Amino acid sequence: MALAEAFPAPPRASLRAQILPIGIFLALAILPLVAPATGVGYLVSLGARIMIFAIAAVALDLLLGYGGLISFGHAAFIGLGAYAVGILAAHGFTDMLIALPAALAISALYAFLTGIVCLRTKGVYFIMITLAFGQMVYFTASSLAPYGGDDGLTIAARSTLLGFPLLKNDRALYYVVLLCLLGSYLFCRALVASRFGRVLRGAKENAVRMETVGFDVYRFQLTGYVIAGALAGLSGFMLANATEFVSPAYMSWQRSGELIVMVLLGGLGTLNGAIIGTAAYLLTEEWLSGYTESWKVIFGPVLVLVVLFARGGLIGLASALTRRLGRG
């Protein structure tokens, strides 16, 4: 009873509250249909890339937004999922019924093994140890000479489904990624609304109180960490198939930092914000990089302004503007 009173499950969302996620996924669904009319040939591949990283961002938001766990090694799980595809393909195993479970299992296992240690620490120590484990995987991948080392590994063909080249067509790949993002989003949303999610949110606010009530906070956080790692592995699986290439750069600490920025940019602890933040980050990167190679010098101050003046990210900013317009 104490848990339900202190951290109640979110009420059933009204139709009005459902407009944003419905709009997001509807826009993503029709993008390949309207892309030919725009004259931008790479729009479908860009949309797929946004959704792939959005899967990882949604998983990170589960940790960061709801669990208060700032992981600087989240990209390691993406890289592990991608390398599972690449290494299996190098040995002739291209069926996704093998590659996908392997990507999920390896990422989840690494999350479990490292989480056992990481979650014994708190605050800045947790940040640093996740960074250390992430860099350990990065340098291990860089030393894998049989699989390309620093240069990365080219994948001869995308994963098949029982021999059928399901992902060979870019549009088919796009919709498979869309289904993966939708499934990840709905799964995390249900998880947050469940008893598990309430414990996770409670531990973020006051871990000692939750332990006093009788919950094993460490076990709940470890489970959340493993789930987030597995979802990031799914992102890595799709990334390897989309690019037909794997590289140690996928798991660098800079990529982990970019994922954190994506979550903060969209709105921490919203799930919708993780998708919007990913789209905003990658679209801005695509736009600014067309003008200058030093686009981060321009983008950096913009992010600082968002953090300073829009504490709830883009979603928080939009909500504040809507309230002001409503009062006006």
What CATH number does the domain containing 163 carry? Answer: 1.10.3470
Distance CA 99, CA 141 (A): 18
Query: 41 in a domain, yes or no?
Result: yes
Query: 71 in a domain, yes or no?
Result: yes
- Predicted pLDDT at 1: 45
126-170, pLDDT tens digit by residue?
Answer: 999 999 999 999 999 999 888 888 888 999 888 988 888 888 888
- Predicted pLDDT at 215: 87
Provide the domain limits for residue 74. Answer: 21-327
Confirm if 35 and 44 have CB atoms less than 8 A apart: yes
Query: 145 in a domain, yes or no?
Result: yes
pLDDT at 328 over 60: no
Distance CA 22, CA 231 (A): 21
Question: Residue 214: pLDDT band by 50, 70, 90 thresholds?
Answer: confident
Query: 262 in a domain, yes or no?
Result: yes
95-122, pLDDT tens digit by residue?
Answer: 999 999 999 999 999 999 999 999 999 8
Query: 14 in a domain, yes or no?
Result: no
Confirm if 185 and 194 have CB atoms less than 8 A apart: no
Distance CA 312, CA 307 (A): 8
DSSP string, 65-115: HHH----S-HHHHHHHHHHHHHHHHHTT--BHHHHHHHHHHHHHHHHHHHH
Q: Which two tokens stand for residue 301?
A: 């101050």
Query: 66 in a domain, yes or no?
Result: yes
Confirm if 245 and 239 have CB atoms less than 8 A apart: no
Query: 1 in a domain, yes or no?
Result: no
Query: 9 in a domain, yes or no?
Result: no
- Span of 50-64, 94-108, 290-304 with lowest mean pLDDT: 290-304
> What is the tally of structural domains in the chain?
1
